[in-house]
Structure 1
């Protein structure tokens, strides 16, 4: 083990866990599965729950079917087979002179956990059977030596991995805290702790790992949750200040003459929400501080028209604009939409995608550099290419949740401090917006333009298939088109499955839809082939498109008003809602039928919520409640380190408070340069400097 006297506090905290008392190389390998490598990792490995041994009940005081915990010593372990593949495990626990029998059916692997003489805490619902108390399938916590329950004791319950028991984990965490806890520095000033009624770092660690009462754990957790959210919000605020203070954008003024000229090009009157978003964007564009705004709106609310307005404003100011879409299909559709919309305007449009030949790309890049392209539309090829703009004034990213923070920064750096607008059709709950996009100002469009058709949504069982396909064929014969959506390109692992596009196409072409023109579309197809299929579908040379979620975003075929989704339980709410948005684009009402076999209550609840409303904001809140922000928006995809103890869903109030405090701090000290904030600044930079691209501060 390294000589602790010759090392710094940080070096000591980075001591590998194998050198800690009670760990060793074998347990260190097991701890690595939990991503615990150093003493510091163990110290900040927080309990997931607590076992309050003050609530222990004596066996003689048990009440039938009322949950309880008893403490005792194992006197006997009995395991026997009761038939092929069947068994019963009985563990007799003595509490003073009374006994309780814990039993498990058909779980032979539990046998090796128990032996005579072990001290255990057994929790479950007791039943009085055969003149003795029993608990079936209880939760059992095996106590280590020195961990015999005492009055008033509260035991932390940690996440575990195979081969490490709860008592052993407690001992290892406590060993790390005892040996290295004093090396931890307090990053929050004393006056700040007093003002916000927060425990010191050492008080909080002792109370979270060794609480004497359950109430202590709440104040300890508050300290760490608040600190984690404060560090996140400080990173967001530093990024915002960096964008505002260190960079100077080309002002794009929008006066009444420019406004009038742009509106004449738009095909319809804008809604109140669209006008409000345009007002906010125009205000930002007119400044030399780069705009940094998120435009969110439900499917079909007209975000594209708002972005068109912003791009035309940039062109009117003799600047260039770039629009980046997540797929080549969508990028080309944006190009076609804008080309048609601006056919009478003198706006030069270029399209940069991965399918261009080397010569085509070279020519396009020369035009962009010479200022001969006003609007450049593309995919990630824009940031994967060495590109120089003559005068880039505005960057727009469509479908924000498809791109990470680093990708945003890379596109921004393609020009000289452009204004920056990102869009998403996946409505974002407020706490997620603060947590993940706290460096962006927010504009929201809720109401769709008039004339948008409703979509009738059904969740169907297998016995309703024939009826649905009768209706589907009836609408196709009336001249409509439709989609059939599968979760996978190919699924051959199971017999009789229709989970893949290829299987579905073969099945439908020889069955329910044999009289119609069918083709398939999926992500493995070359971009040019995908685009050709979509064009044939748009020209009604195809009646039904059998596809994966590649059609989820942005493909407009107004005549396509029918959709069948197979294996609906495999899709998230946001995906289902995006898919539904494909069939509300024209003058005819839409019809969607989801065939699903939900295996869990959460899956059933998700599908019921989807059928019950077409409000994407309402569905986003439901999805957030059911799945949390990590699954919903791909925290890792954005390059963000995971939150250790805070939860955006649960801790919304503390998040709002942390944001207010963070922005208040950076308003007076924009770079946290003062000695008061030195340690906190270091923590922010270590945690978020790279992922939020704020490494060049100070």
Structure 2
């Protein structure tokens, strides 16, 4: 048996179990061996005298009578067995595990883990740890499971995989690195994580496993970076500087110092023969779109095509309208390609892209499907990069002539996470807001203070302005959330009857219906937009001055900041009202952060501090890698060390050609094959 074999080679794994294991990410024997417990139960045998009431303990004794099974109702049963522990007889009960009856033979010894009830002198059995023929383990690993895979099943699979393939485990972390950081070998890590003899062994194995996970991820990042920086993978784009200056002079405003700096960084990158792989991050409203327009025009002046990809159709339409206006007096042929594009129009656009007649195309991810080909694609810009996932960037390089890539995000990323999320990219940051951006006054009210909030909304509506009212949407409770949104819609319709037209937008509507409502709001035909979804709100409505967010404590701070940035885009003062009754001190602290600062980078750092990295963006598709046991926040020093080590390694030997790196090379090649496509 090898580590690359399918889990189906393990005993008891048929098609159904294979599917359930795949949901946990376990497809091969190697996956099972490197699937580690997230905590351990202490199974040290205790004396009865030491056991506290309701404590989970392991008791060891002799079975004094045959086990008895009692059945009551379908699938309900109880196994009772009496065990002599020290000088006392203890009744042990297991619920709904009738098969355990055969585990107990009168006169034999058994070790049982369960909850001790001191008053009744009974033990509620959780698991049988050992019988006469086995040793009692001192620690039991607790694994992440799903509804189709029981804990005991996983434990057995790990044992089987270790017995048959443990000796096949090779060290992918080079010996010199292990020596330098005093790390265990891969075999020792796997044994120490699954079968530790002492808490100290489990702790040492976890320390080594965390470094290993970070180090391998950072090596993947360095390999991607190495790949993108080879000259053969890049384009030198000799843009026309005079034409660029002419475009900038037509702008109705002066670029900020930060905008000028990032335009120069990006243009310099485009001019070099290396492949550009750059992230442009800037706070909400910092003027990334105009930077994108300037650098796309740069590519067009060098006779290359440019593509701008955004997450929603409404946003694509808005960008198209703005860019059409911007390039009205310049020789740029634009096209808009989304899921809504008619078949005939799509045929014309794809033909225009193939022939090179179209210079610039704006659209959703429909842009990078297989049937869309370009004559001379030089630059791809992805807006709201974090919506498209971390492994999907590389696929873009295979379109056309390996175009330069610029990803943009309005979700400021703390330095802590930047090296994990975007480690293979160069980063440009717009760290100042354009002059004239309206400051947004943020207040936090509890639900019993809503009357005051509604008065503020009424004033704004009477002044001719518009309002967003957002209620959360969490996948598991879509039905409840939809009811909440519908109730809120009815409540606001009553509240502002005769003052404003209220519309409801939610994720279960058809795309056309959503687009129609967003258009009506953009054109001020609707004054109050009640929405459950965050994605569709990524539009520019300068006349909107109030962002009213209900159950604000159910959003991540980064999400709240993104939503807040949807107002304050016109000339009038803007307001963000957070409605929340937080249940704990952390919730209160999070609301206070939003009231105290409008700096996205400060907010991102605080979000990290208060929530941890797991859901900082409030969505699984944040583009952040998910680590199995390592945590980029709590284990930041290890992450930093792993990153620096990977950088040094690739600097010394960019292609990892030395013999000692052969296992690492093979690992990285295997990971490369797993990279998904956007199609």
If the length of structure 2 is used for normalisation, what is the TM-score?
0.81
The one of 659, 667, 671 aligned to 1:687: 671
Query: Compared with structure 1, are the counterparts of its residues 24 and 97 closer, same or farther at alpha carbon in structure 2 (3 Å cutoff)?
Result: farther
Alignment of 1:241-256 (within 5 A): 241-245=226-230, 247-253=232-238
State how far apart, in whole Å, the 1-side matches of 2:651 and 2:533 are: 44
Count residues with an aligned counterpart. Answer: 660
Matches within 5 A, 1:345-364: 345-364=330-349
Q: Is the 8 A contact 1:143 1:167 kept in 2?
A: no
Moved more, 319-328 or 683-692: 683-692
For the aligned residues, what is the CA RMSD?
4.6
Aligned to 1:485: 470
Q: Could you tell me how far apart the structure 1 residues matched to 2:193 and 2:32 are?
A: 13
> Among residues 134, 139, 143, which one is paired with 2:129 in the alignment?
143
| C-alpha contact (below 8 Å) 2:556/2:615 kept by paired residues | no
Name 2:326's counterpart in structure 1: 341
Q: Does the CA contact (< 8 Å) of 1:296 and 1:445 recur in 2? A: yes
| 1:592 counterpart SS class | strand
The question of whether the paired residues in 1 share the 8 Å contact of 2:308 and 2:361 is answered with yes
Report deviation, 1:63: 8.5
Give the match's secondary structure for 1:322. strand
Q: 2 CA distance for matches of 1:167 and 1:551?
A: 41
Which segment is superposed worse, 613-622 or 306-315?
Answer: 613-622
Once residues 319 and 492 of structure 1 are traced to their aligned partners in structure 2, the CA distance between those partners, rounded to angstroms, is: 45
Structure 1 contact 387–414 (Cα < 8 Å) conserved: no
CA drift at 1:327: 1.1
Deviations 1:596-643 (A, max 9, x none): 465677666655544454332333344445655554459975899854
What is the rounded CA distance, in whole Å, between the counterparts of 1:268 and 1:607 in structure 2? 35
- SS, match of residue 582 in structure 1: coil
Could you tell me whether the CA contact under 8 Å between 1:489 and 1:522 is conserved in 2?
Answer: no
Alignment pair present for 1:429 and 2:419: no
Quote how far apart the aligned CAs of 1:61 are: 5.7
Q: In the alignment, which of 186, 202, 210 is matched to residue 201 of structure 1? A: 186
Q: CA deviation at 1:292?
A: 0.3
Taking a change above 3 Å as real, the CA distance of residues 464 and 497 of structure 1, as seen in their structure-2 partners, is farther
Aligned match for 1:386, one of 371, 378, 385: 371
Shift of 1:70: 6.7
Secondary structure of 2:172's aligned partner: coil
Alpha-carbon contact 1:122-1:140 (below 8 Å) kept: yes
* CA distance in 1: counterparts of 2:240 and 2:393, whole angstroms: 29
Partner of 1:660: 644
What corresponds to 2:215 in structure 1?
230
Q: Residues of 2 paired with 1:528 and 1:188: CA distance? A: 52
Asked whether the equivalents of residues 207 and 217 of structure 1 are also in contact (C-alpha less than 8 Å), the reply is yes
Match of 1:443 in 2: 428
Question: Are 2:8 and 1:18 equivalent residues in the alignment?
Answer: no
1:75-125, CA deviations, whole angstroms, 9 ceiling, x for partnerless residues? 9999xxxxxxxxxx999998635899999xxx988999999986345679x
CA distance in 1, matches of 2:478, 2:614: 30
Structure 1 position 424, deviation (Å): 0.9
**Contact 2:314 2:536 (8 Å CA) reproduced:** no
The whole-number CA distance in structure 1 between the counterparts of 2:205 and 2:37 is 11
Q: Which one of the candidate residues 520, 531, 534 is aligned to 1:547?
A: 531
Q: 1:304 to 1:62 in 2, by over 3 A?
A: same
Change (3 A) 1:356 1:183: closer
Structure 1 pair 163–314 and aligned structure 2 pair: CA distance change class (3 A): closer
Match of 1:580 among 564, 568, 589: 564
Q: 2:37 aligns with which of 35, 40, 47?
A: 47
Q: Secondary structure at the match of 1:377?
A: strand
Q: C-alpha displacement at 1:468, in angstroms? A: 1.9
Distance change (3 Å), C-alpha of 1:602 and 1:112: farther
| Alpha-carbon distance, 1:366 to partner | 3.7
Out of 423-432 and 524-533, give the one that drifted further: 524-533
Question: Tell me, which stretches of 5 or more residues in structure 2 are unaligned?
Answer: 69-78
Q: Say whether the 8 Å CA contact 1:119–1:148 is kept in structure 2.
A: no
Q: 1:412, CA displacement in angstroms? A: 3.8
How far apart are the structure 2 equivalents of 1:546 and 1:205? 51
Decide which of 599, 611, 614 is 1:615's aligned counterpart: 599
- 5 Å matches for 1:298-313? 298-313=283-298
**1:348 touches 1:373 (CA, 8 Å); kept in 2?**
yes
CA contact (8 A) 1:291 1:421 kept: yes
For 1:467 and 1:92, how far apart are their aligned partners in 2? 66
Partner of 2:72: none
Distance 1:226 1:692, change over 3 A: farther
Residues 515-550 of structure 1 show CA distances to partners (whole Å, capped at 9, x for unaligned) of 322334445656666555444434433322233335
Q: Over residues 306-339 of structure 1, what are the superposed CA-to-partner deviations in whole Å (9 max), with x where a residue is unaligned? A: 2222123223333322111111111111122223
How far apart are the structure 2 equivalents of 1:371 and 1:163?
Answer: 53
Partner of 1:453: 438
Residues 64 and 670 of structure 1: CA distance in aligned 2, closer, same or farther (over 3 Å): same
TM-aligned CA deviation for residue 52 of structure 1: 4.7
Name whichever of 372-381 and 247-256 sits farther off.
Answer: 247-256
**Residue among 629, 632, 638 paired with 1:645:** 629
* Distance in 2 between residues matched to 1:521 and 1:274, nearest whole Å: 34
Describe the SS at the equivalent of 1:476.
helix
